[in-house]
Amino acid sequence: MFDLARLERVSPCLWEIPKSFRDDMRVPARIYSSEAMLKEIVRDRSLEQLVNVATLPGIALWALAMPDAHEGYGFPVGGIAAFDEQQGVISPGGIGYDINCGVRVLRSDLKKEDVLPHLRNLGRTLFAEVPSGVGRGGRLAFRGPDLDAVLVRGARRMLELGYATEDDLAHTESEGVLPDADPAFVSQQAKSRGHDQLGTMGAGNHFVEVGYVEQIFDADAAEKLGLCADRVTVLIHTGSRGFGHQVATDHIRVMNRAMPRYNIELPDRELACVPFDSEEGRQYFAAMQAAANFAWANRQLITHEVRQAFRQVFSDGALSLVYDVAHNIAKLEEYRIGPVSKRLVVHRKGATRAFPGQPVLIPGSMGTASYVLLGQQPSLEASFGSSCHGAGRRMSRTQARKDFNPAALRAELAKQGIVVNAGSGRGFVEEAPLAYKDVDAVVNVVHDAGIAKKVVRLRPLVVVKG
């Protein structure tokens, strides 16, 4: 367990592990957290992993962790690190296996009272329309040039096929497509795993959730986003499925073989990396962008399925996209480092982009609240334009299976008026609300730190899980 006495307090919501903590650190490590939440963060190896990240070549300013931080593969989930484009590295562990796991929020013209009599029917219909679960395939299959078109054009390919609108793309980060994706650097095994997974949710903490606007913190911002009191919303949380996992697996294997050629030595083999400006680095970046485009196409196709479900239950599938944001990704962005501006490879793993004025979507755990925030100007100087991405686990999935009973958990959620449809009892208990941190406390940290301000709080009514 990390010794809290080694942390230096920078501000009420920011703590630092100084560069002097360990000889191999190139920059300090910083943690956004309340004092109380630090006690949860140190229960696992999150801070040790953050210190390891601070040793990587070409890292700029700090290695950062958000208040939802917990132990991950190499990097902590909730971690952010930026590397010089010319002198720095790219590391799949800083992006995650589920490339472009992300979340989108849709709004309906319906109000809470309109949907309350239909919750069970809506849950069943959504469960039937959105394929979910481990290895579950969708209704559409894309192979060869058809799949490559999705990898290159992302959500825009869904528009061309009739599953999206121009308004959907306008309200998606990067309009749902990264420009330098190259299917040539994606293995046939990855393509085989992903060929029938578009329009599917998967398992784990992925979900479709119907809720409503329970509380408004900033009336002007909420009005601009079309989020009035009791307005019905839909959250979609999923990523690139087995396709993205295989892309990460393939390129981690390549990097492990390549690192000796670049004289890269690591404190943890899970931090496998290569210079960004190397053949292996550029190839991974191109494949990662292809996986990101796959994920945006996936969330867009699920949006089409959700609209179909709403039409069946309410004769009205009018669901407008508020925003879609990635939280497992690397992007080239420009920041001021000292007296000069530099292009940096910003790794966000379980972290959300929070550019000024941009919606920041923070899903809570099943049965708790979610939030819509707006990014603030200080984020650009304080956190590479980044915020938290959710509540963050406080308990392993194994422990959750030991501690919670599916029937009892379902009954408890029913008491709260929440209808749950889940394909797996095991997966259901792994995502129990008490397995996660307090999302209100997490959001308060980034709000108080000036990174992103609270706009509305959403309360769930129907949860559909794999």
Summarize pLDDT for 379-437 with one digit per residue, the tens: 999 999 999 999 988 888 888 888 888 888 888 888 888 898 887 667 788 888 888 88
The SS3 of residue 102 is strand
Task: Give me the pLDDT at residue 377, please.
Answer: 97
pLDDT value at 316 more than 90: no
Task: Give me the pLDDT at residue 406, please.
Answer: 83
Task: Give me the pLDDT at residue 433, please.
Answer: 80
Task: Give me the pLDDT at residue 338, please.
Answer: 87
Domain CATH for 207: 3.90.1860.10
Q: Return d(Cα 279, Cα 287) in angstroms, integer.
A: 12
Q: Return d(Cα 333, Cα 347) in angstroms, integer.
A: 10
Domain total in the chain: 1
Q: Return d(Cα 77, Cα 233) in angstroms, integer.
A: 27
352 close to 375: Cβ distance less than 8 angstroms: no
Active-site residue 389, yes or no?
yes
Segments in 35-154 forming alpha helices (H): 35-41, 46-53, 112-115, 119-129, 144-153
- Low-confidence winner among 44-58, 157-171, 392-406 (lowest mean pLDDT): 392-406
Res. 135 pLDDT band, cuts 50 70 90? low
From 171, 195, 304, 389, active-site residue: 389
Q: What is the mean pLDDT of residues 155-179?
A: 98
b/e map of 289-302 (b: 16 or more CB within 10 Å)? bbbbbbbbbbbbbb
CB atoms within 10 A of CB 166: 10
Res. 137 pLDDT band, cuts 50 70 90? low
pLDDT value at 134 more than 80: no
Task: Give me the pLDDT at residue 349, please.
Answer: 98
Summarize pLDDT for 206-257 with one digit per residue, the tens: 999 999 999 999 999 999 999 999 999 999 999 999 999 999 999 999 999 9
Q: Return d(Cα 206, Cα 346) in angstroms, integer.
A: 24
Task: Give me the pLDDT at residue 148, please.
Answer: 98
Residues 6 or more apart whose Cβ sits within 8 Å of residue 11: 449
pTM over 0.85: yes
Summarize pLDDT for 389-404 with one digit per residue, the tens: 999 888 888 888 888 8
Task: Give me the pLDDT at residue 133, please.
Answer: 65
- Low-confidence winner among 153-167, 335-349, 411-425 (lowest mean pLDDT): 411-425
Domain containing 39 equals: 4-465
Q: Return d(Cα 310, Cα 318) in angstroms, integer.
A: 8
